[in-house]
Amino acid sequence: MFASVLSAAILGMDVHPIQVEADVSDGLPTFTMVGFPSAQVKEAQDRVRTALKNNGIALPPKRITVNFAPADIKKEGAGFDLPLAAAVLAASDILKSEQLDRVMMAGEISLNGEIHAISGILPIIIRAREEKCRFCVVPYENLREATLIPDMKVIGVRNLQEMIRYVQSPDSYRKEVGKTIESPGKEKLDFSDIRGQESLKRAVEIAVSGFHNLLMIGPPGAGKTMVARRIPGIMPALTFDEGLELTKIYSIAGLLSRGDPLIRERPFRSPHHTCSAQALAGGGRNPRPGEITLAHRGVLFLDEMPEFSRRSLEILRQPLEDKVIRISRVYGTYDFPADFMLCAAMNPCPCGHYPDMNRCRCTPAQVMQYLGRISQPLLDRLDLCAEVSPVDFEGLSSGRKGESTQTIRERVICAQDIQRERYKIEGIQFNGELSGAQIEKYCKMEKDARQLLKMAFQNMSFSARAYHRILKVARTIADMEATESIHRHHIAEALSYRAFDKKYWN
């Protein structure tokens, strides 16, 4: 007898529907699995057979053949346990095959029949809605995540007996979602805690307003990391669609909280400098999101940037331009979203005190070698380069607090609203996303501003990419003042954020 049920395979960020087909026929008692299953999926036959036995369900001593269609997609993970069990039960006439029509299942089964949570449930539910399934059956532990999609019926089951009961009578299911588990509250980081560093805070506000990339250069202990960790606080709150998009990414990566799975805050990812290139970009045999993708819609902070491997840093160049990271494997090419703000911090030399020659003990060769770890093409992709000076005693001991995060965020929202209104027909939101043709259209300069930029371009030998970055930053500064055209002082301030990279790298 033949039966089938729908499941799904996640490849990169794409979800492919998989038909799990089972046939029970006369012949020598065997259990054969075909359709390009991985070794992990092949182990499911022993888990399912033992789980059914321990729940008092004996499979007939016949030839059992299971196929995962289409056969050209590699099947990975333990999520196929539950649909495999359902298909075999229907083929054995314990369930009716029509009861599995347009039903999607995913879940891992233990030897005693309990059903455990898996990663990637949310994108599977989204795919089930696209396939117009009647309902989905998922592990109970994944129920909160699955019910983030309001217009799709989802049944959460704890064991095989519940799966059989609710497949036979789905209308009898009454959703029971336990009390939300309160996660420990995060410490609220506020910009008012930062003493001094007004020029750095100004650079950060410009960077966030236009979604520009930022590099901070300064001695250790000057406050670079403190400022960076407060950047998500001045970003506008996530919309529901953005939160759902992030939740899908974190679901595939297996990083969601079971109690409250919806991502509600912009991500701040700060990988250690020993992070490998693959961990940063994502990948693996079955590609999964890396730190770049996990920072989507938020901030990727690289502390001690020159300490990262050259290979890891150069990986950033393509996603910074394209807002997507593309990973090629033998079985296909996978695209992961990578629309993030890069914030990097570094010392100007190995000891951290250059160019203060009274304290710096590094040789010129050591300084050049240290700074040379960051390539010029990568530097050109950083819109702002801010120099961070140590705060003096008076600044630290005065007790005078600066502007709060809330005050800065209100200004950022105003500047971003201007940009969204301007670019609503362009398919972009921020100045940092402007293409070459769009820069010519929207970055109109006054005559004296053009003269200043021309003089700087000739004297400082900027590349074409750096020229465009200066105009984008100047456009953001003008938007922060609600000015339609770019004036001379906007260009002057934008140029000041490119002067420091010439100071150090020349």
Residue-range domain boundaries for the chain? 2-172, 213-382, 402-506
* R_g of the chain computed on alpha carbons: 28
Q: What pLDDT band is residue 185 in, cutting at 50, 70 and 90?
A: low
Per-chain mean pLDDT for the chain = 91
* For residue 378, pLDDT beyond 70: yes
Q: How far apart are the C-alpha atoms of 346 and 219, rounded to whole Å?
A: 8
Token match 């092949």: residue?
42
**pLDDT (tens digit per residue) in 26-75:** 988 899 999 999 998 999 999 999 999 999 998 888 999 999 999 989 89
Please determine, for residue 188, whether its predicted confidence score (pLDDT) is greater than 80: no
pLDDT category, 181, cuts 50, 70, 90? Answer: very low
Write the pLDDT tens digit of every residue in 235-281: 999 999 999 999 999 999 999 988 889 999 999 999 999 999 999 99
The CATH number of the domain covering residues in 213-382: 3.40.50.300
Q: What residues contact residue 351 under an 8 Å CB cut-off, 6+ apart?
A: 359, 360, 361, 362
Tokens of 282: 């994502």
Asked whether 177 and 347 are in contact (CB, 8 A), the reply is no
The per-residue pLDDT for range 331-362, each reduced to its tens digit, is 778 899 999 999 999 998 999 888 888 888 89
Can you name the CATH fold of 402-506? Helicase, Ruva Protein; domain 3 (1.10.8)
Identify the burial level of 323 via C-beta atoms within 10 angstroms of its C-beta, where 0-12 means exposed, 13-18 middle and 19 or more buried.
middle
Instruction: Detail the DSSP E strand segments found in 374-416.
Output: 384-387
Residue for token digits 């140590």? 390
Nearest alpha-carbon partner for 167 in 214, 246, 101: 101
Whether 219 shows a pLDDT value over 80: the answer reads yes
Band the pLDDT of 402: cuts 50, 70, 90. Answer: confident
The count of other CB atoms within 10 Å of the CB of residue 148 is 20
Q: How confident is the model at residue 444 (pLDDT cuts 50, 70, 90)?
A: very high
Statement: residue 407 has pLDDT above 80: yes
> Which tens digit of pLDDT belongs to each residue from 305-340?
999 999 999 999 999 999 999 988 777 788 999 999
**Paired residues of 66 in beta bridges:** 22, 33
pTM (two decimals): 0.90
Helices (H), 230-308: 240-253, 277-281, 291-294
| Lowest mean pLDDT segment, chosen from 128-132, 293-297, 438-442, 499-503 | 499-503
Domain 2-172: which topology? Answer: Ribosomal Protein S5; domain 2 (3.30.230)
Identify the pLDDT of residue 395.
67
Q: Are 280 and 292 in contact (CB under 8 A)?
A: yes
